[in-house]
Amino acid sequence: MSEFISLAALAGAAFTSGLMAGLFFAYACSVVPGLAATDARTLVGAMQSINRKILNGWFLAAFLGAPVLTALAVALHAGDGPVLVWSAAALVAHLVMFGVTMRVNVPLNNRLDAAGPVDRIGDLAAVRERFERPWVRWNLVRTVASAAAFAALLGALLAH
């Protein structure tokens, strides 16, 4: 039974990590370039809407599940050398992703939302300028961190 639980934690960690890596990758290679090609009104309005709608149960289950299940996998594989090393590497990558999201991207999202509805913002170009570059740069960091966590968890599964 404990073997099943430890494998399930590892598989769940890999699954939710893959979901998060895919989400951030999709932003990096489609959503962000698509919005970059639009005017400030479109980018600000779209990102305000996306930032509100992403806060749902599906997103939160993967966003919180990935590091929590990875931490559980680390704890359950404490005596298992290669699995532990790969799982611990994944946990570090998740902590980077989580830290960047909470300390950079979420505050940028909140600041963008606080600017108000797009039809009431006086200088949309300035709001866009303060948001877009740092958000895109740090989204790339969390994309790489999430992909690294996913790859490490695949390594842990193979070592298992």
* pLDDT tens, residue by residue, 30-88: 999 999 999 999 999 999 999 999 999 999 999 999 999 999 999 999 888 999 999 99
Indicate if the pLDDT at residue 103 is higher than 70: yes
Mean pLDDT of all residues in 147-159: 97
- As a whole number, the mean pLDDT across the chain is 97
pLDDT at 80 (0 to 100) = 82
pLDDT at 79 (0 to 100) = 85
Q: How many CB atoms lie within 10 A of CB 3?
A: 9
Two tokens, residue 47: 């990102």
pLDDT at 1 (0 to 100) = 64
* Buried residues in 84-104 as b, exposed as e (16+ CB within 10 A): bbbbbbbbbbbebbbebbeeb
Which residues, including other chains, have CB under 8 Å from residue 25's CB and lie 6 or more apart?
A: 143, 146, 147
